[in-house]
Amino acid sequence: MSLYPAPLPAITQEVIFLDPDDDLGTVRAKLESTAADEVYLVIPRRASILRTPLEFRILARLAHDLSSETIIVAGDGTRRSLARQEGLRTKRSIRSIRHLSKPPGTRSWELPAIPDWVPRPSLTGLLLMAFMAAVAGVLILGVLPVMRVTVTAQTLSQHRDLEILVDPSVKQADLQRQTLPGEVLQQRVEVVASLPATGMRRVGRDRARGEVTFSSQSQQPALIPRGTVVVANSGARFQTDIDLQVPPLSSGQAKVGVTAVNSGTIGNVPAGQIARIESAGIQGVTVRNDRPTAGGSDRDGRVVTADDLAKLRELLQNRAREQALAELYARAGSERSLVQPSVKLRTEGESFDPGVDAEAEQVNGRLAVVATAVVFVNADFDALVQKIFLAGAGGGYDLPRSQLAVGVPQVLGMDDQKVRIKTSSDGTMVRQLNANAIAEQLRGKSSAEASSLLTKMDGLAGPSRVELSPSWAPWAYRVEVTAR
């Protein structure tokens, strides 16, 4: 009796390679042709069979009938999954069964095969991983580090007294001639005003009354209508009170009452002074007053004088100018300047009521004028001043509007509608810097190297500030330059 157990019988193994054009019948024939206990069935990727659950179910039943264990060797993960669902073992590749081709008793020091359940990346996956690693490297070394540089540009301050011609006849500014386009605004204005009359004199209060006698040398009756005017030798005028029929060849037979046309003592005339009929249509008739006219009286009253009209005209002109200026300024707006000395008024019409020597408590007047004025655009004026400063600096500088103080324009003189203006202005010009060029020179440099380069660059004033982030980065591809 032996103390050691009998050795187990050796398990036989065989590898069967399928062809791309095999079918289930040829697979069955290949499996039946072997008596091995374990059969490794190698399926090429291009094989047309063993792609569906039904085909693997038939294969598992066939292996069971042959009493052999069939192990599927396939690089296709879908095939291995379908095989495992039918209880079949699987291998990933030929490498995992390479030991079957070695002589018995030899040892292999190769790395152990990757278990079948561990996913193996494809070539596309490996390339994607390499790409991601490269992107990460670029982000860490090229994008993440950033050098922030703050530089100060050199400045040049100037004060200049400038003379600029505003000319409405030009269309654009001229730097050489220092000429600026202007515009002539036109506005019609109408104003009214009143002043008390200042003249004093005796004026009529009551009108004189009397009686006249008409005589006719005509052989026909003469009709004297009511309101017929008869005139005294003194110039006093009277009107008949009623219609009168003068008989033919009469002599002192037709009498009628008369009333003075104008009130006052001027209508009190002696007898025999009224001797003329004003109407030329009455022929062959004479008139006389046998008794004086009476009842006319005077009083002290106000009358319009020539000085009153002169003062009222001056008042109207001042009001018209003020109103015209207000409306012209409103039309110019805040974006344009109006040259006040350029304002001109042209009278279009005037009237006064009543006239000189008329009795009245006040005199009324109306004046219509057309006003014109020269204006210019403020932004264009500032831009021309800015260009004059920059031209004087010789190039290489900028002049921000915030660094330009334009003085209040003063009018030196006018020639027709051209206005010569003087302005005292101050400007601080800033040296032009190319931030991209500076960044290009500092790209890939350390903080110390960047600071050294900045001290040698033209156009910079004072020390520059260099900040490298993160602090562990030796250099930066990204460089951000800020000028102040």
Higher-pLDDT residue of 421 and 136 is 421
Selection from 246, 258, 269, 352 nearest residue 309 by Cα? 352
Q: How far apart are CA 247 and CA 249, in angstroms?
A: 6
pLDDT for 209: 96
Question: Which CATH code of 2.20.25, 2.60.40, 2.40.30, 1.10.10 fits the domain covering 203-299?
Answer: 2.40.30
What's 226's DSSP letter? Answer: T
Selection from 228, 375, 361, 207 nearest residue 293 by Cα? 207
Ranges 3-12, 141-150, 187-196, 356-365: which has the least confidence? 3-12
Mean pLDDT computed over 267-292: 90
pLDDT for 121: 57
Q: How far apart are CA 443 and CA 466, in angstroms?
A: 12
Q: Is the peptide bond before 341 cis (omega within 30 degrees of 0)?
A: no
3-state secondary structure 403-457: HEECCCCEEEEEECCEEEEEEEEEEEEEECCCHHHHHHHHCCCCHHHHHHHHHHC
pLDDT for 167: 93
pLDDT reading at 126 higher than 50: yes
pLDDT per position as a tens digit, 135-150: 555 555 545 789 999 9
Higher-pLDDT residue of 104 and 481 is 481
pLDDT for 1: 43
Q: What's the chain's average pLDDT?
A: 85
Q: How far is CA 32 from CA 36, 88, 143, 365, in A?
A: 10, 17, 64, 136
pLDDT per position as a tens digit, 405-417: 998 889 998 888 8
Mean pLDDT computed over 64-73: 84
Q: How far apart are CA 74 and CA 17, in angstroms?
A: 11
Look up the pTM and report it.
0.54
pLDDT for 139: 53
Mean pLDDT computed over 379-403: 89
Angle at 23 between CA 22 and CA 29, to 5 degrees: 85
pLDDT per position as a tens digit, 240-259: 999 998 888 866 578 999 99
Mean pLDDT computed over 358-378: 93
Q: How far apart are CA 149 and CA 482, in angstroms?
A: 6
Higher-pLDDT residue of 43 and 140 is 43
Is residue 219 very low, low, confident or very high in pLDDT (cuts 50, 70, 90)? confident
Concatenated DSSP letters for 311-338?
Answer: HHHHHHHHHHHHHHHHHHHHHH-TTEEE
In the chain, where are the structural domains located?
Answer: 13-101, 143-153+433-483, 159-197+304-424, 203-299
